[in-house]
Amino acid sequence: MNVATDPRETLELADWRRRVATLYAEVRRLSATDVGAALELWQTTREVLYREHPSSPIPLDRRAAFRASHFAHDPGLRFEVEVVGDVPPPSTAPPPIATSNPLGAVRPIAFDAEPPRAIQLPVSAGGSMNFTRIGHVEIPFAAGPRRLGVFWMAGYAGGLFVPFRDATNGTETYAAGRYAIDAAKSADLGGDPASGTLILDFNFAYQPSCAFDPKWACPLAPPENRLDVPVRAGERLGEDALRDGHEART
């Protein structure tokens, strides 16, 4: 989103970001001992922000009546998963180059894992946004493991990004998918950098701003992050959207 020309609007946006960052810091703290309490705090605080804050993505004429909708808490949809680097495709390049060290021994130059690669993700308002794909995670769903790509936003504030689509989209949730992680907006549940893991709790999955108002331009999940199973956890469409047959630009 572009910074507003009115200084007051810009300061309101800064306040929104501080409040969201504070919320996720408290969610991470609470989750260490009581995920249910952390989830309740997340749901209630976000609802108040969306209904009352000047920088809410909800259109002004709908804010007073806004009520958030969520699936029931499913503890089985919280995972700590390893981020795995991609294995490079079979190479058709010539054999590794051999070099000599001062002692005369021949040492081949090794080419290891495939480096992170640039990728463009689609945007709800049209066009695309630049990201770097840093690897993937395997989610051990009850229906079997599924893979999601993990991205880093190339511009803006940077940050990890894990969007996804699933079989609830267009009926129970926003047609263009939801976010599991969007660290640029402080939506990050943590992990262990020493062991290379991230926490993905789909009970905290939420719909991007463009789900509420098409004026927002939101990056969306690429084909590789489209799950063929329903993920009935996290934020869902409200009754008004379901009744009106909510649709999204994809």
Round to whole Å and give the CA distance between 226 and 241. Answer: 22
> What is the pTM assigned to this prediction?
0.84
Sequence spans of domains, the chain: 7-88+114-244
Q: How do residues 218-228 score in pLDDT, each as one tens digit?
A: 999 999 999 99
Q: What confidence score (pLDDT) does residue 5 get?
A: 67
Q: How do residues 191-236 score in pLDDT, each as one tens digit?
A: 999 999 999 999 999 999 999 999 999 999 999 999 999 999 999 9
Q: Which of 189, 210, 225, 154 is nearest to 42 (CA)?
A: 189
Q: Which of 63, 12, 65, 19 is nearest to 45 (CA)?
A: 19
Least confident of 41-55, 123-137, 164-178: 123-137
To the nearest whole number, what is the mean pLDDT of the chain?
87
Q: Is the pLDDT of residue 70 over 70?
A: yes
Q: Which of 147, 145, 150 is nearest to 133 (CA)?
A: 150
Range 176-187 average pLDDT: 96
Sheet of 197-201: strand order equals 78-82, 197-201, 191-192
Q: What confidence score (pLDDT) does residue 114 get?
A: 55
Range 171-181 average pLDDT: 97
Tell me the residue length of the chain: 250
DSSP-derived pairing of the beta strands 98-100 and 197-201:
unpaired
Range 69-83 average pLDDT: 98
Q: Is the pLDDT of residue 242 over 80?
A: no
